[in-house]
Chain A
């Protein structure tokens, strides 16, 4: 069970890759899905490995990413 859950508002994602570059665990990538704005949007390739550092959400210019923590 993943400790942290990433939620993406892919409708806002412009595929800028800032989050991909910022993630210290390298678990974000630009996928093949085309979002509402016509860009290929972000996907998380390994939710289990997320450490909840919020680097991705901090650098995202488009309010795409929200992060939640599973209750212990």
Chain B
């Protein structure tokens, strides 16, 4: 029998603590698949955020460290200096990256730091029980905006890819989704290209994954995937915003 699809050794053989239908598991897997295919599992250092995925190190089979909320891009900048030859990535959610960590990510991107940030955008705060995120959609309900996000009070949802694509040294910026097989294939390609940009030390690379939070959206897995398709993608368009010519398509 020939293998058609087998699980990468980059994922530890343990059940994740994520909710049923949460796409963290998909994001983890495709990142680890790419590192495995590039032969880089032994050279990778991952930086976990505060959020549901603080426990990513229990599932990703690479050296990892935990960080304080929002600080991952600063921590990764420090790691890069101490370990010039390794593959370094941060893996961050909405609150970590777009709220408390907004300063750190903009500065790291602006410096053109040669690590890759994987941004999990599920338009809500997961770990703490469903509060509004900077990425919560207009009219979307959360525990801290029970009547729905009102842009006149709290502004419009933040488009991180568009913000970062403005910075000259952020040379690879792409938004992907994890809600359909086709989107997942595209997402994996973006992960690969981002890590190749890193390998060539061209500048900062950033991939935003539109993701599900079934529990806090009050939807089941397939309904949540539909929410991503019908509500999130129209506001957060998929596609590549920056790419250096040197990276092969």
Query: Which chain A residues have a beta carbon within 8 Å of chain B's beta carbons?
Result: 4-5, 11-12, 14-18, 20-22, 36-37, 39, 52-55, 57-63, 65-71
Contact = CB atoms under 8 A, between A and B. Distances in A.
Given A22-B181, A59-B181, A4 B7 contact: no
Interface of B: 1-7, 11, 13, 15-16, 18-26, 29, 180-181, 184-185, 214, 220-222, 225
Given A15-B20, A17-B222, A61 B2 contact: no
Contact of A17 (B2, B6, B25, B221): B221
A17 B180 CA distance: 13
A37 B15 contact: yes
B1 A70 contact: yes
Minimum-distance CB pairs A-B, first 8: A61-B25, A14-B20, A16-B20, A16-B21, A21-B222, A16-B221, A55-B181, A68-B1
17 contacts: A12-B16, A14-B19, A14-B21, A16-B21, A16-B220, A17-B222, A22-B181, A36-B15, A54-B4, A54-B5, A54-B181, A58-B26, A61-B21, A66-B3, A67-B3, A67-B5, A69-B4
Contacts of A12: 15-16
Contact of B25 (A22, A39, A63, A71): A63
Given A14-B20, A16-B20, A62-B25, A22 B11 contact: no
A55 to B, nearest CB: 4
B221 A58 contact: no
Given A17-B220, A22-B181, A54-B181, A61 B5 contact: no
Contacts of B180: 22, 59
A61 B209 CA distance: 14
Contacts of B185: 58
